[in-house]
Amino acid sequence: MKIALAQVNVHIGNFAANVAKFKSLIEEAKLQGADLIVFPELGICGYPARDFLEYDSFIQQCQLHIESLATVCNGIACIIGSPSFNTDEQGKNLFNSAFVLEKGTIAKVVHKTLLPTYDIFDEYRYFEPNRHFECVEIAGVKVAITICEDLWNIGTEALYQECPMDKLILDGPDLMVNIAASPFDYAQKKNRLQVLKANVMRYQVPLVYVNHVGAQTELIFDGASLVLDKQGQIIDELDSFKEEMKVVDISSKGNPPLISGREEIEDIYNALILGVRDYFQKSNFKSAVIGLSGGIDSAVVAALATEALGQENVHGVLMPSQYSSDHSITDAKALALNLGIHHELIPIEEIYKSFELQLQSAFAGKGPDLTEENLQARIRGVLLMAVSNKHGHILLNTSNKSEAAVGYGTLYGDMCGGLSVIGDVYKTKVYELAHFINRDRELIPFNTISKAPSAELRHDQKDSDSLPEYGILDQILELYIEHCTSRDELIAKGFEVALIDRITGLVNRNEYKRYQTPPILRISPKAFGMGRRMPIVAKY
């Protein structure tokens, strides 16, 4: 049997464009002699469509377009994900379904059983779980169709009472097909391969796995679709971070997975490039504006944006104040030159003085404090948004995860932007990204990498004045945020008690700031945003 794996990049809700693409892929798969073409989970509408799923008219659009897709499925079968109405009186209104299209019609509909509802997933918000298990015959092959999470209730930490493949295997399938919407994070690729292999080893049936590719605001889908033979060897594998269709003969003999040699940091780099590119393309914007401080965060974001959008579409703005060191300007200019991007200089000192003057009476009797630092950051935010508005650029935010975690940033100042590019990247990893970006030549000026980080909002300020070294800070943050490590465990790991309390206190207290940040491209198993939901008004 020859199966086309359609690892597609879907634009959520853009039915006409998506289905036109799918139809041309079906035609191409036919030409290549495929018996079956497989699209990802909820491929018809994109993932996650979130509360659009609560609109009956949205579901009806899905159905109409599934029917339209069925009309071209002659001489080839198709599996594609779509929401479908639950016609029972009880339960949620919808199923998360896989439609089998064959001979110009809908041959079969299979529903998802295990509905992930944790981290960034909200599926039980919308869907009723399946309770009926049956394999589907396609072109003479008995296929056990499952949807993403359905294969994940395996191993010691079973999150669900049910194991769908344990039921389906009783039906004697020749093949497993799993359609998925499994977003990238730096740990996910390895986990995913382990889980898929564990299924093949357990059920002794080959597996076709088709995942989404492309970014949906904060979520970045890496694809990495593949076919495993029943020994768990890889018959074929699709590229990560690229839209692709590939026809695979599933009766071929597999090979052990290649050691890709790709470092984690390269995956993160590719994920962020795709994240930026898709945000712009899917929002129908072309160009970005970025505030360039001469520091490492804005340099890395500018380099990523240049790779994603092209140098002609990236506009840097330098906004020095009286506190800016000479190297801030020279380093930022050198960066712009290295990247070949346009840059502009807008000093903030005069505007700052004008605010000071008007605020004189409101500030009477009060000495300088953080207010003045925030004011500078906010003037820069207003300038960047003005350039963004006037020229139709999207402002890219340059905050990193370490800053976002401890609230080291100014709301409506450096926290402005349409998209946060490195808000899920700890400062220590930002340096790794910088080195990776510089792997062939000096794009990010060496001085930007080697100098001590500073916000430059007052004389001689350094990040290390108010924060511990990033090496220590990032370790505590990762343990507390990604692993929910308790105070006692952190103490046992040898961190200072006062430091632990200070850092975790800062993380908790600054939830109110993170509530208003731009969406953050997600590259870790626990990113700020939809994956981490915290009360704002709380005391813990």
**Which residues are marked as active site?**
41, 112, 148
**Residue 522 amino acid letter:** R
Residues within window 53-72 making contact with a copy of itself, judged by CB under 8 A: 54-58, 60
Answer yes or no: are the C-beta atoms of 96 and 73 closer than 8 Å: no
Contact mark string toward a copy of itself, 452..471, x via CB under 8 A: --------------------
Contact mark string toward a copy of itself, 3..42, x via CB under 8 A: --------xxxx--x-------------------------
Q: How far apart are the first and last CA of the chain?
A: 57
Residues within window 409-428 making contact with a copy of itself, judged by CB under 8 A: 411-412, 416, 418
Pairing of strands 207-210, 175-179: parallel
Q: What is the DSSP string of 273-298?
A: HHHHHHHHHHHT---EEEE--SSHHH
Buried b (16+ CB within 10 A) or exposed e, 521-540: bbbbbbbbbbbeeeeeeeee
Answer yes or no: are the C-beta atoms of 418 and 288 closer than 8 Å: no
Torsion sign over Cα 464, 506, 385, 311: positive
- Binding-site member from 251, 260, 322, 486 for a copy of itself (CB under 8 A): 486
- Measured CA to CA in angstroms, residue 450 lies from 96, 214, 441, 444, 460 at distances of 50, 34, 16, 11, 17
Contact mark string toward a copy of itself, 81..120, x via CB under 8 A: --------xxxx------------------------xx--
**Residue among 82 and 428 whose Cβ is closer to a copy of itself:** 82
CB of 215 to a copy of itself, least distance (A): 8
**Residue among 88 and 469 whose Cβ is closer to a copy of itself:** 88
Kindly give, in sequence order, each residue whose CB lies less than 8 Å from that of residue 309, ignoring residues fewer than 6 positions away. Answer: 276, 277, 280, 286, 287, 288
Residues within window 156-185 making contact with a copy of itself, judged by CB under 8 A: 156, 158-161
Residues within window 516-535 making contact with a copy of itself, judged by CB under 8 A: 516-519, 530, 532-535
**Residue among 99 and 528 whose Cβ is closer to a copy of itself:** 528
How many amino acids of this chain bind a copy of itself (CB under 8 A)?
Answer: 95
- Measured CA to CA in angstroms, residue 263 lies from 184, 259, 260 at distances of 14, 11, 8
Answer yes or no: are the C-beta atoms of 528 and 426 closer than 8 Å: no
Using CB under 8 A as the binding rule, whether residue 316 contacts a copy of itself is answered as no
Residues within window 351-370 making contact with a copy of itself, judged by CB under 8 A: 351, 353-355, 357-359, 361-363, 366, 369-370
**Residue among 102 and 243 whose Cβ is closer to a copy of itself:** 243
CB of 420 to a copy of itself, least distance (A): 11
Kindly give, in sequence order, each residue whose CB lies less than 8 Å from that of residue 496, ignoring residues fewer than 6 positions away. Answer: none
**Residue among 101 and 530 whose Cβ is closer to a copy of itself:** 530
Q: Which of 534, 539, 409 is nearest to 467 (CA)?
A: 409
